[in-house]
């Protein structure tokens, strides 16, 4: 298991520019990452909601992971590997690991309703198969599901949890997450 990354500083949720055909615009991405590096970012999150990951096929997401890893070097990079299909999330996570990513991020699976127990099982299954530290990614406005404090705590007790990315409009949820992060030793 890779050691848990230290999450300090500013990590850019990376924008993924595309050309008129919908293909990754490498030159624009390179210019953007060079600008962010000059401004002192600490690391990069690839394929997050800012990167509009649902619009990319699994193959295009693999390509984006490779390009971001190359262009973001030597900064630490994390990959959002969220997918409704655990098999795809695992494939993306394994590719991220082979590219030197330090952690993966996971949102709850979208579209179908899932219980907190199902959500936890999904997170644990993917984490075990990928063998990288995990950043849970809570964005209820996009997924239709909130990761409960109990689910976060249960995951932190059973898997290598690096942190949680809390997005969306419920800013007050940060307070109990920060307290839980201090208790369980993960970043918020």
User: Which residues are marked as active site?
Assistant: 137, 165
173: which residues sit within 8 A by CB, 6+ positions away? 138, 146, 166
Instruction: Tell me the C-alpha distance between 69 and 139, whole Å.
Output: 24
C-alpha 18 chain-centroid distance: 20
Interhelix angle 116-130/149-158, nearest 10 degrees: 30
**172 dihedral zone (left: phi>0; alpha: psi -120 to 50; beta):** alpha
Residue with tokens 């990761």: 147
Q: Identify which of 108, 101, 116 has the alpha carbon closest to the alpha carbon of residue 164.
A: 108
Q: In the β-sheet with 77-80, what is the strand arrangement from edge to edge?
A: 11-13, 43-46, 77-80, 103-106, 134-138, 161-166
């Amino acid at each position: 298991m890779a050691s848990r990354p230290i999450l300090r500083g500013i990590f850019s949720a990376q924008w993924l520019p595309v050309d008129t055909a919908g293909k990754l615009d490498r030159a624009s991405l390179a210019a953007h990452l060079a600008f962010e590096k000059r401004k002192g970012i600490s690391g990069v999150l690839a394929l997050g909601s800012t990167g509009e990951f649902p619009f990319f096929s699994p193959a295009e997401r693999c390509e984006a992971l490779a390009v971001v890893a190359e262009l973001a070097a030597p900064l630490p990079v994390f990959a959002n590997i969220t997918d409704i299909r655990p098999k795809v999330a695992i494939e993306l996570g394994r590719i991220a690991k082979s590219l030197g990513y330090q952690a993966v991020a996971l949102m709850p699976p979208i579209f179908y309703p899932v219980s907190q127990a199902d959500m936890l099982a999904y997170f644990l299954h993917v984490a075990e198969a990928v063998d990288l530290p995990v950043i849970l990614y809570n964005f209820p406005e996009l997924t239709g599901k909130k990761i409960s404090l109990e689910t976060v705590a249960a995951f932190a007790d059973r898997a290598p949890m690096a942190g949680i990315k809390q997005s969306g409009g419920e800013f007050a949820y940060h307070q109990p997450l920060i307290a839980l992060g201090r208790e369980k030793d993960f970043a918020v």
